[in-house]
Structure 1
Amino acid sequence: MRENSTMQNKIISALIFFLLFTAVNCSAEVISKVAAVVNDAVITTRQLEAAFAQALKLNPNSASLTAAEKEKMRLKVLDQLIEEELFKDRLKQLRIKVSEEDVEAAVEDVQRQNNLTREQLAQALQQQGMDFATYQDQLRKQILRFKLIGAEVQSKTEVTSAEVREYYRDHIDEYREPPYMQLSRFTLPIPGSADEEEIEELRNQAIEARKRLVEGEAVNTLLVSYALSGAEGGDMGRFRVGELSESFDRVVRNLESGKISEIVEVPNGFFIFKMTDRSSGGEKPFDEVRPGIEQILQEEKREQAFKDWNRELREEAYIDIRI
Protein backbone atom coordinates (compact mmCIF):
# COMPACT_ATOMS: atom_id res chain seq x y z
CA MET A 1 0.00 0.00 0.00
CA ARG A 2 2.86 2.40 0.82
CA GLU A 3 4.37 1.83 -2.65
CA ASN A 4 1.05 2.58 -4.32
CA SER A 5 0.64 5.72 -2.21
CA THR A 6 4.11 6.94 -3.14
CA MET A 7 3.46 6.33 -6.82
CA GLN A 8 0.17 8.19 -6.59
CA ASN A 9 1.88 11.19 -5.01
CA LYS A 10 4.55 11.16 -7.71
CA ILE A 11 2.12 11.39 -10.58
CA ILE A 12 -0.42 13.79 -9.12
CA SER A 13 1.58 16.89 -10.09
CA ALA A 14 1.85 15.67 -13.67
CA LEU A 15 -1.84 14.88 -13.75
CA ILE A 16 -2.75 18.33 -12.49
CA PHE A 17 -0.44 19.99 -15.02
CA PHE A 18 -1.53 18.03 -18.08
CA LEU A 19 -5.11 17.18 -17.18
CA LEU A 20 -7.99 19.14 -18.57
CA PHE A 21 -11.20 18.34 -16.74
CA THR A 22 -12.05 14.81 -17.81
CA ALA A 23 -15.54 13.61 -18.52
CA VAL A 24 -16.53 10.34 -16.81
CA ASN A 25 -19.58 8.14 -17.24
CA CYS A 26 -22.63 9.09 -15.24
CA SER A 27 -25.49 6.84 -14.23
CA ALA A 28 -28.38 6.39 -16.61
CA GLU A 29 -30.73 7.96 -14.09
CA VAL A 30 -29.09 11.40 -14.41
CA ILE A 31 -31.11 13.62 -16.72
CA SER A 32 -28.78 15.67 -18.90
CA LYS A 33 -29.78 19.27 -19.55
CA VAL A 34 -28.06 22.07 -21.39
CA ALA A 35 -25.52 23.85 -19.20
CA ALA A 36 -24.18 26.13 -21.93
CA VAL A 37 -24.15 26.66 -25.68
CA VAL A 38 -20.87 27.66 -27.34
CA ASN A 39 -21.32 28.52 -31.02
CA ASP A 40 -22.61 25.20 -32.45
CA ALA A 41 -21.57 23.08 -29.48
CA VAL A 42 -23.62 22.12 -26.44
CA ILE A 43 -22.18 21.52 -22.97
CA THR A 44 -24.55 19.33 -20.99
CA THR A 45 -25.08 19.27 -17.24
CA ARG A 46 -23.88 15.67 -17.33
CA GLN A 47 -20.56 16.79 -18.82
CA LEU A 48 -20.34 19.60 -16.28
CA GLU A 49 -21.04 17.41 -13.25
CA ALA A 50 -18.62 14.75 -14.47
CA ALA A 51 -15.85 17.32 -14.96
CA PHE A 52 -16.70 18.91 -11.60
CA ALA A 53 -16.47 15.52 -9.86
CA GLN A 54 -13.06 14.94 -11.43
CA ALA A 55 -11.89 18.40 -10.32
CA LEU A 56 -13.02 17.67 -6.76
CA LYS A 57 -11.19 14.36 -6.86
CA LEU A 58 -7.95 16.09 -7.80
CA ASN A 59 -8.34 18.80 -5.15
CA PRO A 60 -6.65 17.72 -1.89
CA ASN A 61 -8.81 20.21 0.06
CA SER A 62 -12.15 19.17 -1.42
CA ALA A 63 -13.43 17.69 1.86
CA SER A 64 -13.14 21.05 3.62
CA LEU A 65 -14.75 23.18 0.90
CA THR A 66 -17.90 25.07 1.81
CA ALA A 67 -21.02 24.95 -0.37
CA ALA A 68 -20.21 28.43 -1.70
CA GLU A 69 -16.64 27.42 -2.52
CA LYS A 70 -17.85 24.31 -4.33
CA GLU A 71 -20.30 26.35 -6.38
CA LYS A 72 -17.54 28.79 -7.28
CA MET A 73 -15.36 25.85 -8.32
CA ARG A 74 -18.23 24.37 -10.34
CA LEU A 75 -18.63 27.62 -12.29
CA LYS A 76 -14.89 27.69 -12.89
CA VAL A 77 -15.10 24.17 -14.32
CA LEU A 78 -17.90 25.32 -16.63
CA ASP A 79 -15.73 28.21 -17.76
CA GLN A 80 -12.96 25.71 -18.52
CA LEU A 81 -15.34 23.63 -20.62
CA ILE A 82 -16.48 26.74 -22.49
CA GLU A 83 -12.87 27.69 -23.14
CA GLU A 84 -12.18 24.18 -24.41
CA GLU A 85 -14.99 24.47 -26.96
CA LEU A 86 -13.72 27.87 -28.09
CA PHE A 87 -10.27 26.42 -28.52
CA LYS A 88 -11.66 23.50 -30.54
CA ASP A 89 -13.28 25.91 -32.99
CA ARG A 90 -10.11 27.96 -33.35
CA LEU A 91 -7.98 24.84 -33.82
CA LYS A 92 -10.23 23.78 -36.70
CA GLN A 93 -9.93 27.21 -38.30
CA LEU A 94 -6.14 27.17 -38.08
CA ARG A 95 -5.89 23.44 -38.91
CA ILE A 96 -3.52 22.80 -36.02
CA LYS A 97 -2.89 19.13 -35.32
CA VAL A 98 -0.88 16.97 -32.94
CA SER A 99 0.99 13.88 -34.10
CA GLU A 100 1.28 10.60 -32.23
CA GLU A 101 4.99 11.37 -31.88
CA ASP A 102 4.10 14.58 -30.00
CA VAL A 103 1.90 12.64 -27.58
CA GLU A 104 4.49 9.92 -27.07
CA ALA A 105 7.17 12.53 -26.36
CA ALA A 106 4.89 14.12 -23.74
CA VAL A 107 4.27 10.74 -22.07
CA GLU A 108 8.01 10.04 -21.97
CA ASP A 109 8.59 13.49 -20.47
CA VAL A 110 6.10 12.75 -17.68
CA GLN A 111 7.81 9.42 -17.02
CA ARG A 112 11.24 11.04 -16.93
CA GLN A 113 10.21 13.90 -14.63
CA ASN A 114 8.55 11.49 -12.19
CA ASN A 115 11.07 8.65 -12.57
CA LEU A 116 8.39 6.15 -13.61
CA THR A 117 8.26 3.25 -16.03
CA ARG A 118 5.33 2.99 -18.46
CA GLU A 119 3.80 0.28 -16.28
CA GLN A 120 4.11 2.41 -13.14
CA LEU A 121 2.55 5.37 -14.93
CA ALA A 122 -0.38 3.24 -16.10
CA GLN A 123 -0.86 1.91 -12.58
CA ALA A 124 -0.81 5.41 -11.10
CA LEU A 125 -3.36 6.56 -13.67
CA GLN A 126 -5.57 3.61 -12.80
CA GLN A 127 -5.46 4.66 -9.15
CA GLN A 128 -6.76 8.03 -10.32
CA GLY A 129 -9.62 6.33 -12.14
CA MET A 130 -8.24 6.82 -15.65
CA ASP A 131 -7.05 4.39 -18.28
CA PHE A 132 -3.93 5.04 -20.34
CA ALA A 133 -5.78 5.78 -23.58
CA THR A 134 -7.85 8.48 -21.88
CA TYR A 135 -4.70 10.00 -20.44
CA GLN A 136 -3.09 10.11 -23.88
CA ASP A 137 -6.20 11.87 -25.20
CA GLN A 138 -5.95 14.49 -22.47
CA LEU A 139 -2.27 15.02 -23.25
CA ARG A 140 -3.19 15.48 -26.91
CA LYS A 141 -5.71 18.17 -25.95
CA GLN A 142 -3.18 19.93 -23.77
CA ILE A 143 -0.54 19.93 -26.51
CA LEU A 144 -3.10 21.32 -28.95
CA ARG A 145 -3.81 24.06 -26.43
CA PHE A 146 -0.12 24.95 -26.15
CA LYS A 147 0.28 25.00 -29.93
CA LEU A 148 -2.78 27.20 -30.36
CA ILE A 149 -1.70 29.71 -27.74
CA GLY A 150 1.78 29.74 -29.24
CA ALA A 151 0.41 30.45 -32.71
CA GLU A 152 -1.99 33.16 -31.55
CA VAL A 153 -0.02 34.83 -28.77
CA GLN A 154 3.71 34.32 -29.36
CA SER A 155 4.00 36.98 -32.06
CA LYS A 156 2.71 39.57 -29.58
CA THR A 157 5.35 38.85 -26.94
CA GLU A 158 8.44 40.15 -28.72
CA VAL A 159 10.45 42.57 -26.61
CA THR A 160 12.39 45.47 -28.14
CA SER A 161 15.76 46.77 -26.99
CA ALA A 162 14.14 50.09 -26.11
CA GLU A 163 11.68 48.33 -23.79
CA VAL A 164 14.49 46.47 -22.06
CA ARG A 165 16.46 49.70 -21.60
CA GLU A 166 13.41 51.49 -20.22
CA TYR A 167 12.75 48.69 -17.71
CA TYR A 168 16.39 48.79 -16.62
CA ARG A 169 16.19 52.56 -16.00
CA ASP A 170 12.85 52.35 -14.19
CA HIS A 171 14.02 49.50 -11.91
CA ILE A 172 17.64 50.53 -11.48
CA ASP A 173 17.45 50.16 -7.68
CA GLU A 174 16.81 46.45 -8.16
CA TYR A 175 20.08 46.16 -10.06
CA ARG A 176 22.33 47.91 -7.57
CA GLU A 177 24.94 45.63 -6.04
CA PRO A 178 26.35 46.39 -2.56
CA PRO A 179 30.12 46.28 -2.03
CA TYR A 180 31.40 42.79 -1.28
CA MET A 181 34.54 40.77 -0.59
CA GLN A 182 34.93 37.19 -1.78
CA LEU A 183 37.39 35.32 0.41
CA SER A 184 39.21 32.03 0.66
CA ARG A 185 40.58 30.80 3.97
CA PHE A 186 43.53 28.69 5.11
CA THR A 187 43.44 27.64 8.77
CA LEU A 188 45.72 25.59 10.97
CA PRO A 189 43.65 24.72 14.06
CA ILE A 190 45.30 24.75 17.49
CA PRO A 191 44.24 21.65 19.46
CA GLY A 192 43.00 22.39 22.95
CA SER A 193 45.68 20.10 24.37
CA ALA A 194 48.56 21.71 22.42
CA ASP A 195 51.58 22.90 24.44
CA GLU A 196 53.76 25.92 23.62
CA GLU A 197 56.17 23.89 21.52
CA GLU A 198 53.34 22.45 19.38
CA ILE A 199 51.79 25.90 18.98
CA GLU A 200 55.15 27.30 17.87
CA GLU A 201 55.44 24.52 15.27
CA LEU A 202 51.98 25.40 13.91
CA ARG A 203 52.97 29.09 13.87
CA ASN A 204 56.01 28.29 11.73
CA GLN A 205 53.86 26.19 9.40
CA ALA A 206 51.45 29.11 9.04
CA ILE A 207 54.34 31.44 8.15
CA GLU A 208 55.54 28.99 5.49
CA ALA A 209 51.99 28.51 4.17
CA ARG A 210 51.47 32.27 3.83
CA LYS A 211 54.75 32.57 1.92
CA ARG A 212 53.58 29.90 -0.54
CA LEU A 213 50.23 31.67 -0.96
CA VAL A 214 51.96 34.99 -1.67
CA GLU A 215 54.08 33.22 -4.28
CA GLY A 216 50.89 32.12 -6.03
CA GLU A 217 50.15 28.64 -4.74
CA ALA A 218 46.43 27.83 -4.56
CA VAL A 219 44.64 27.55 -1.21
CA ASN A 220 43.28 24.10 -2.07
CA THR A 221 46.79 22.87 -2.88
CA LEU A 222 48.02 23.99 0.53
CA LEU A 223 45.10 22.28 2.25
CA VAL A 224 46.35 19.00 0.81
CA SER A 225 49.97 19.75 1.74
CA TYR A 226 49.08 20.50 5.36
CA ALA A 227 46.39 17.87 5.76
CA LEU A 228 48.38 16.04 8.45
CA SER A 229 48.38 19.25 10.48
CA GLY A 230 44.59 19.42 10.25
CA ALA A 231 44.48 22.29 7.74
CA GLU A 232 40.99 23.58 7.00
CA GLY A 233 39.51 26.18 4.69
CA GLY A 234 38.57 26.86 1.09
CA ASP A 235 36.11 29.29 -0.48
CA MET A 236 34.15 31.29 2.10
CA GLY A 237 31.78 33.06 -0.27
CA ARG A 238 30.91 36.75 -0.23
CA PHE A 239 30.94 39.16 2.70
CA ARG A 240 30.36 42.85 3.23
CA VAL A 241 32.90 44.93 5.10
CA GLY A 242 32.15 44.60 8.81
CA GLU A 243 30.39 41.22 8.60
CA LEU A 244 33.40 39.26 9.84
CA SER A 245 34.68 39.36 13.41
CA GLU A 246 36.80 42.41 14.22
CA SER A 247 40.11 40.50 14.23
CA PHE A 248 39.41 39.07 10.76
CA ASP A 249 37.77 42.17 9.29
CA ARG A 250 40.78 44.29 10.26
CA VAL A 251 43.18 42.27 8.06
CA VAL A 252 40.93 41.85 5.01
CA ARG A 253 38.97 45.09 4.68
CA ASN A 254 41.71 46.85 2.67
CA LEU A 255 43.05 43.82 0.78
CA GLU A 256 43.11 44.14 -2.98
CA SER A 257 41.79 41.35 -5.17
CA GLY A 258 44.27 38.46 -5.33
CA LYS A 259 46.22 39.57 -2.25
CA ILE A 260 47.00 37.55 0.90
CA SER A 261 46.30 38.75 4.44
CA GLU A 262 48.63 38.73 7.40
CA ILE A 263 48.37 35.73 9.72
CA VAL A 264 45.67 36.10 12.35
CA GLU A 265 46.43 34.15 15.52
CA VAL A 266 43.45 33.43 17.76
CA PRO A 267 43.11 30.87 20.57
CA ASN A 268 41.71 28.20 18.28
CA GLY A 269 44.05 28.55 15.29
CA PHE A 270 46.11 30.45 12.73
CA PHE A 271 44.05 32.05 9.93
CA ILE A 272 45.19 33.34 6.54
CA PHE A 273 42.80 34.91 4.03
CA LYS A 274 43.00 35.43 0.29
CA MET A 275 40.88 38.11 -1.39
CA THR A 276 39.75 36.14 -4.45
CA ASP A 277 37.49 38.96 -5.66
CA ARG A 278 36.00 42.20 -4.43
CA SER A 279 33.66 44.86 -5.75
CA SER A 280 32.99 48.42 -4.68
CA GLY A 281 29.35 47.88 -5.60
CA GLY A 282 27.21 49.97 -7.90
CA GLU A 283 24.88 49.21 -10.77
CA LYS A 284 25.10 45.84 -12.44
CA PRO A 285 26.07 46.22 -16.11
CA PHE A 286 23.11 46.34 -18.49
CA ASP A 287 24.42 43.47 -20.62
CA GLU A 288 24.66 41.28 -17.51
CA VAL A 289 21.01 41.73 -16.51
CA ARG A 290 19.50 42.06 -19.99
CA PRO A 291 18.52 38.36 -20.42
CA GLY A 292 16.64 38.40 -17.12
CA ILE A 293 14.81 41.61 -18.02
CA GLU A 294 13.84 40.20 -21.42
CA GLN A 295 12.38 37.15 -19.70
CA ILE A 296 10.37 39.32 -17.28
CA LEU A 297 8.97 41.47 -20.09
CA GLN A 298 8.17 38.48 -22.29
CA GLU A 299 6.24 36.84 -19.46
CA GLU A 300 4.31 40.05 -18.78
CA LYS A 301 3.47 40.43 -22.46
CA ARG A 302 2.54 36.75 -22.75
CA GLU A 303 0.07 36.99 -19.88
CA GLN A 304 -1.50 40.18 -21.21
CA ALA A 305 -1.62 38.90 -24.80
CA PHE A 306 -3.34 35.70 -23.65
CA LYS A 307 -5.93 37.66 -21.67
CA ASP A 308 -6.62 39.93 -24.66
CA TRP A 309 -6.81 37.01 -27.08
CA ASN A 310 -9.08 35.00 -24.79
CA ARG A 311 -11.38 37.99 -24.32
CA GLU A 312 -11.58 38.59 -28.08
CA LEU A 313 -12.28 34.91 -28.65
CA ARG A 314 -15.25 35.07 -26.26
CA GLU A 315 -16.52 38.37 -27.65
CA GLU A 316 -16.60 36.94 -31.17
CA ALA A 317 -18.33 33.72 -30.10
CA TYR A 318 -21.93 32.92 -29.24
CA ILE A 319 -21.98 31.85 -25.59
CA ASP A 320 -25.22 31.15 -23.73
CA ILE A 321 -24.91 29.93 -20.13
CA ARG A 322 -28.16 28.29 -18.98
CA ILE A 323 -27.54 27.29 -15.39
Structure 2
Amino acid sequence: MRLSDTVATVNGTEISRLELDNAIQGFAMGVYRKPMESLTDEEREKAKGMAMEKLVARQLIYEDALARGLEVPDGAVEAEIEKVAANFPNVEELYGTLEKAGLSKEAYHKMLHTDLLVNQLTDIKLAEVDDITEVEITSFYKENSEKMSKPERVRASHILVKSDGGEGREAALEATEKLKERLGEESFEDIAKTHSACPSGAKGGDLGWFGRGDMVASFEEAAFSSTVGEVGDIVETPFGFHILKVTDKDGGGEVSFEEASPKICEFLDRKKKSEYLAAWVADLKSTAEVQVFDVPMG
Protein backbone atom coordinates (compact mmCIF):
# COMPACT_ATOMS: atom_id res chain seq x y z
CA MET A 1 0.00 0.00 0.00
CA ARG A 2 1.31 3.45 -0.87
CA LEU A 3 1.82 5.84 2.04
CA SER A 4 -0.62 8.30 0.40
CA ASP A 5 -3.33 5.61 0.62
CA THR A 6 -2.96 5.34 4.39
CA VAL A 7 -5.24 7.60 6.45
CA ALA A 8 -4.46 6.16 9.90
CA THR A 9 -2.61 3.40 11.72
CA VAL A 10 -3.67 1.47 14.81
CA ASN A 11 -0.81 -0.35 16.50
CA GLY A 12 0.91 -0.42 13.13
CA THR A 13 -2.09 -1.69 11.16
CA GLU A 14 -2.95 0.66 8.30
CA ILE A 15 -6.42 2.01 7.57
CA SER A 16 -6.76 2.79 3.87
CA ARG A 17 -8.32 5.70 2.03
CA LEU A 18 -10.75 3.25 0.43
CA GLU A 19 -11.95 2.11 3.86
CA LEU A 20 -12.38 5.73 4.93
CA ASP A 21 -14.29 6.69 1.79
CA ASN A 22 -16.61 3.69 2.18
CA ALA A 23 -17.25 4.59 5.82
CA ILE A 24 -17.91 8.24 4.91
CA GLN A 25 -20.37 7.09 2.25
CA GLY A 26 -22.16 5.02 4.87
CA PHE A 27 -22.50 8.01 7.20
CA ALA A 28 -23.53 10.26 4.31
CA MET A 29 -26.45 8.00 3.44
CA GLY A 30 -27.32 7.06 7.02
CA VAL A 31 -27.09 10.50 8.63
CA TYR A 32 -27.61 12.97 5.80
CA ARG A 33 -29.66 10.80 3.41
CA LYS A 34 -27.51 11.71 0.40
CA PRO A 35 -24.34 10.43 -1.29
CA MET A 36 -20.90 11.62 -0.17
CA GLU A 37 -20.49 13.67 -3.35
CA SER A 38 -23.52 15.81 -2.41
CA LEU A 39 -22.38 16.70 1.11
CA THR A 40 -21.49 20.27 1.99
CA ASP A 41 -17.93 20.89 3.17
CA GLU A 42 -19.14 21.04 6.78
CA GLU A 43 -21.19 17.85 6.46
CA ARG A 44 -18.29 16.05 4.80
CA GLU A 45 -15.88 16.99 7.57
CA LYS A 46 -18.33 15.76 10.21
CA ALA A 47 -18.89 12.52 8.28
CA LYS A 48 -15.13 12.10 7.90
CA GLY A 49 -14.64 12.51 11.66
CA MET A 50 -17.37 9.97 12.48
CA ALA A 51 -16.03 7.54 9.88
CA MET A 52 -12.46 7.77 11.16
CA GLU A 53 -13.63 7.25 14.74
CA LYS A 54 -15.59 4.17 13.69
CA LEU A 55 -12.66 2.65 11.75
CA VAL A 56 -10.21 3.16 14.62
CA ALA A 57 -12.69 1.64 17.09
CA ARG A 58 -13.28 -1.30 14.75
CA GLN A 59 -9.56 -2.08 14.58
CA LEU A 60 -9.13 -1.75 18.35
CA ILE A 61 -12.03 -4.12 19.00
CA TYR A 62 -10.70 -6.57 16.40
CA GLU A 63 -7.31 -6.67 18.09
CA ASP A 64 -8.97 -7.15 21.49
CA ALA A 65 -11.00 -10.05 20.05
CA LEU A 66 -7.82 -11.70 18.78
CA ALA A 67 -6.10 -11.17 22.14
CA ARG A 68 -9.03 -12.91 23.86
CA GLY A 69 -8.70 -15.88 21.52
CA LEU A 70 -12.08 -15.42 19.86
CA GLU A 71 -12.56 -17.17 16.54
CA VAL A 72 -14.96 -16.80 13.65
CA PRO A 73 -17.14 -19.95 13.44
CA ASP A 74 -16.47 -22.28 10.52
CA GLY A 75 -18.44 -21.27 7.45
CA ALA A 76 -19.45 -17.86 8.84
CA VAL A 77 -17.50 -15.85 6.25
CA GLU A 78 -18.86 -18.01 3.43
CA ALA A 79 -22.41 -17.54 4.76
CA GLU A 80 -21.98 -13.76 4.70
CA ILE A 81 -20.67 -13.90 1.13
CA GLU A 82 -23.64 -16.03 0.13
CA LYS A 83 -26.06 -13.45 1.57
CA VAL A 84 -24.47 -10.60 -0.38
CA ALA A 85 -24.04 -12.67 -3.54
CA ALA A 86 -27.80 -13.28 -3.56
CA ASN A 87 -28.14 -9.70 -4.85
CA PHE A 88 -25.99 -10.51 -7.89
CA PRO A 89 -26.43 -12.92 -10.82
CA ASN A 90 -23.56 -14.99 -9.37
CA VAL A 91 -20.64 -14.69 -6.94
CA GLU A 92 -18.23 -13.83 -9.76
CA GLU A 93 -20.33 -10.71 -10.49
CA LEU A 94 -20.01 -9.75 -6.83
CA TYR A 95 -16.24 -10.07 -6.87
CA GLY A 96 -16.06 -8.21 -10.18
CA THR A 97 -18.03 -5.30 -8.73
CA LEU A 98 -15.77 -5.23 -5.68
CA GLU A 99 -12.64 -5.27 -7.87
CA LYS A 100 -13.92 -2.25 -9.79
CA ALA A 101 -14.38 -0.46 -6.46
CA GLY A 102 -10.77 -1.26 -5.57
CA LEU A 103 -11.45 -4.16 -3.18
CA SER A 104 -9.81 -7.49 -3.95
CA LYS A 105 -11.39 -10.86 -3.13
CA GLU A 106 -8.82 -11.45 -0.39
CA ALA A 107 -9.35 -7.99 1.12
CA TYR A 108 -13.12 -8.53 1.08
CA HIS A 109 -12.79 -11.86 2.92
CA LYS A 110 -10.53 -10.23 5.50
CA MET A 111 -13.02 -7.40 5.95
CA LEU A 112 -15.84 -9.89 6.60
CA HIS A 113 -13.66 -11.86 9.01
CA THR A 114 -12.85 -8.65 10.90
CA ASP A 115 -16.49 -7.57 11.04
CA LEU A 116 -17.64 -10.95 12.34
CA LEU A 117 -15.07 -10.91 15.15
CA VAL A 118 -15.86 -7.28 15.99
CA ASN A 119 -19.59 -8.05 16.15
CA GLN A 120 -18.96 -11.16 18.26
CA LEU A 121 -16.95 -9.31 20.89
CA THR A 122 -19.30 -6.31 20.82
CA ASP A 123 -22.23 -8.63 21.59
CA ILE A 124 -20.26 -10.12 24.49
CA LYS A 125 -19.56 -6.65 25.90
CA LEU A 126 -23.18 -5.51 25.46
CA ALA A 127 -24.36 -8.54 27.43
CA GLU A 128 -22.51 -7.06 30.41
CA VAL A 129 -24.77 -3.99 30.46
CA ASP A 130 -27.51 -4.05 33.11
CA ASP A 131 -31.13 -4.03 31.98
CA ILE A 132 -33.08 -0.79 32.30
CA THR A 133 -35.14 -0.76 35.51
CA GLU A 134 -38.66 0.51 36.13
CA VAL A 135 -37.16 3.12 38.45
CA GLU A 136 -35.00 4.50 35.62
CA ILE A 137 -37.97 4.63 33.24
CA THR A 138 -40.19 6.37 35.80
CA SER A 139 -37.48 8.87 36.67
CA PHE A 140 -36.89 9.73 33.02
CA TYR A 141 -40.62 10.18 32.40
CA LYS A 142 -41.01 12.55 35.36
CA GLU A 143 -37.94 14.59 34.44
CA ASN A 144 -39.08 14.95 30.83
CA SER A 145 -42.85 15.02 31.26
CA GLU A 146 -43.18 18.35 29.42
CA LYS A 147 -41.54 16.77 26.37
CA MET A 148 -43.75 13.69 26.45
CA SER A 149 -46.15 14.59 23.67
CA LYS A 150 -47.11 13.05 20.36
CA PRO A 151 -46.66 15.26 17.31
CA GLU A 152 -49.57 15.97 15.01
CA ARG A 153 -49.76 13.43 12.17
CA VAL A 154 -51.83 12.75 9.09
CA ARG A 155 -52.36 9.72 6.90
CA ALA A 156 -52.85 10.43 3.25
CA SER A 157 -53.07 8.89 -0.19
CA HIS A 158 -52.11 10.55 -3.44
CA ILE A 159 -52.02 10.12 -7.19
CA LEU A 160 -48.86 11.51 -8.77
CA VAL A 161 -48.45 12.74 -12.34
CA LYS A 162 -44.78 13.50 -12.87
CA SER A 163 -43.62 16.86 -14.20
CA ASP A 164 -40.22 18.51 -14.33
CA GLY A 165 -41.78 21.95 -14.43
CA GLY A 166 -40.56 22.49 -17.99
CA GLU A 167 -42.33 22.27 -21.33
CA GLY A 168 -44.42 19.30 -20.26
CA ARG A 169 -45.86 21.08 -17.22
CA GLU A 170 -49.16 22.11 -18.80
CA ALA A 171 -49.74 18.66 -20.28
CA ALA A 172 -49.05 17.07 -16.90
CA LEU A 173 -51.46 19.45 -15.17
CA GLU A 174 -54.16 18.73 -17.74
CA ALA A 175 -53.67 14.97 -17.30
CA THR A 176 -53.96 15.39 -13.51
CA GLU A 177 -57.18 17.37 -13.86
CA LYS A 178 -58.68 14.66 -16.08
CA LEU A 179 -57.79 11.98 -13.55
CA LYS A 180 -59.40 14.02 -10.78
CA GLU A 181 -62.61 14.33 -12.83
CA ARG A 182 -62.81 10.53 -13.00
CA LEU A 183 -63.00 10.22 -9.21
CA GLY A 184 -66.78 10.38 -9.32
CA GLU A 185 -66.90 7.24 -11.45
CA GLU A 186 -63.85 5.33 -10.20
CA SER A 187 -62.37 4.86 -6.76
CA PHE A 188 -59.30 6.83 -5.67
CA GLU A 189 -57.46 3.57 -4.99
CA ASP A 190 -58.13 2.12 -8.47
CA ILE A 191 -56.96 5.26 -10.25
CA ALA A 192 -53.83 5.39 -8.08
CA LYS A 193 -53.00 1.76 -8.87
CA THR A 194 -53.42 2.34 -12.60
CA HIS A 195 -52.07 5.85 -13.13
CA SER A 196 -49.96 7.09 -10.20
CA ALA A 197 -46.23 7.50 -10.96
CA CYS A 198 -45.38 6.96 -7.28
CA PRO A 199 -44.53 3.48 -5.91
CA SER A 200 -47.35 4.04 -3.40
CA GLY A 201 -49.72 3.54 -6.32
CA ALA A 202 -49.44 -0.22 -5.78
CA LYS A 203 -51.10 0.35 -2.39
CA GLY A 204 -53.84 2.52 -3.78
CA GLY A 205 -51.76 5.64 -3.22
CA ASP A 206 -51.45 5.16 0.55
CA LEU A 207 -48.42 7.03 1.96
CA GLY A 208 -49.05 5.93 5.54
CA TRP A 209 -48.68 8.27 8.51
CA PHE A 210 -46.33 11.26 8.40
CA GLY A 211 -45.64 14.32 10.50
CA ARG A 212 -44.58 17.87 9.83
CA GLY A 213 -41.23 18.09 8.12
CA ASP A 214 -41.53 14.66 6.49
CA MET A 215 -42.83 15.92 3.14
CA VAL A 216 -42.04 18.87 0.88
CA ALA A 217 -43.62 22.11 2.08
CA SER A 218 -46.49 22.48 -0.41
CA PHE A 219 -47.59 18.87 0.03
CA GLU A 220 -47.35 19.09 3.82
CA GLU A 221 -49.38 22.32 3.95
CA ALA A 222 -52.13 20.81 1.81
CA ALA A 223 -52.24 17.58 3.81
CA PHE A 224 -52.44 19.19 7.24
CA SER A 225 -55.06 21.71 6.13
CA SER A 226 -57.31 19.18 4.37
CA THR A 227 -60.43 17.56 5.80
CA VAL A 228 -60.39 13.79 6.28
CA GLY A 229 -62.03 11.98 3.39
CA GLU A 230 -62.15 14.92 1.00
CA VAL A 231 -60.07 15.34 -2.15
CA GLY A 232 -58.62 18.83 -2.16
CA ASP A 233 -57.09 21.03 -4.84
CA ILE A 234 -54.30 19.68 -7.02
CA VAL A 235 -50.92 20.19 -5.35
CA GLU A 236 -47.72 20.95 -7.27
CA THR A 237 -44.31 19.88 -5.92
CA PRO A 238 -40.89 19.36 -7.51
CA PHE A 239 -42.03 15.78 -8.25
CA GLY A 240 -45.06 16.84 -10.29
CA PHE A 241 -48.79 17.20 -9.64
CA HIS A 242 -50.63 15.40 -6.83
CA ILE A 243 -54.25 14.55 -6.25
CA LEU A 244 -54.35 14.32 -2.47
CA LYS A 245 -56.78 12.69 -0.08
CA VAL A 246 -56.25 12.72 3.68
CA THR A 247 -57.61 9.47 5.12
CA ASP A 248 -56.97 10.03 8.83
CA LYS A 249 -55.60 12.54 11.33
CA ASP A 250 -54.00 12.33 14.76
CA GLY A 251 -53.91 15.61 16.63
CA GLY A 252 -51.13 14.45 18.94
CA GLY A 253 -51.11 15.46 22.58
CA GLU A 254 -49.78 14.22 25.89
CA VAL A 255 -48.37 10.71 26.08
CA SER A 256 -49.24 8.62 29.13
CA PHE A 257 -46.59 6.76 31.11
CA GLU A 258 -47.92 3.44 29.78
CA GLU A 259 -47.60 4.65 26.19
CA ALA A 260 -44.19 6.19 26.68
CA SER A 261 -42.63 3.41 28.76
CA PRO A 262 -41.53 1.04 25.93
CA LYS A 263 -39.87 3.85 23.95
CA ILE A 264 -38.20 5.29 27.05
CA CYS A 265 -36.84 1.84 27.87
CA GLU A 266 -35.53 1.46 24.32
CA PHE A 267 -33.94 4.93 24.41
CA LEU A 268 -32.28 4.43 27.80
CA ASP A 269 -31.04 0.97 26.84
CA ARG A 270 -29.52 2.30 23.61
CA LYS A 271 -27.94 5.23 25.50
CA LYS A 272 -26.52 3.05 28.27
CA LYS A 273 -25.03 0.58 25.79
CA SER A 274 -23.59 3.35 23.64
CA GLU A 275 -21.90 4.94 26.64
CA TYR A 276 -20.60 1.56 27.81
CA LEU A 277 -19.08 0.80 24.40
CA ALA A 278 -17.58 4.30 24.15
CA ALA A 279 -15.90 3.91 27.54
CA TRP A 280 -14.58 0.48 26.55
CA VAL A 281 -13.15 1.76 23.25
CA ALA A 282 -11.61 4.76 25.04
CA ASP A 283 -9.90 2.34 27.42
CA LEU A 284 -8.56 0.29 24.51
CA LYS A 285 -7.36 3.45 22.80
CA SER A 286 -5.54 4.67 25.91
CA THR A 287 -3.03 1.82 25.63
CA ALA A 288 -2.81 1.74 21.83
CA GLU A 289 -0.66 3.56 19.31
CA VAL A 290 -3.07 5.44 17.08
CA GLN A 291 -1.95 7.80 14.35
CA VAL A 292 -4.45 9.73 12.23
CA PHE A 293 -3.04 11.55 9.21
CA ASP A 294 -4.36 14.83 7.86
CA VAL A 295 -5.67 13.58 4.53
CA PRO A 296 -7.52 16.08 2.29
CA MET A 297 -10.99 15.07 1.16
CA GLY A 298 -11.29 13.95 -2.44
TM-score, L = length of structure 2: 0.49
Q: Which has the larger radius of gyration?
A: 1
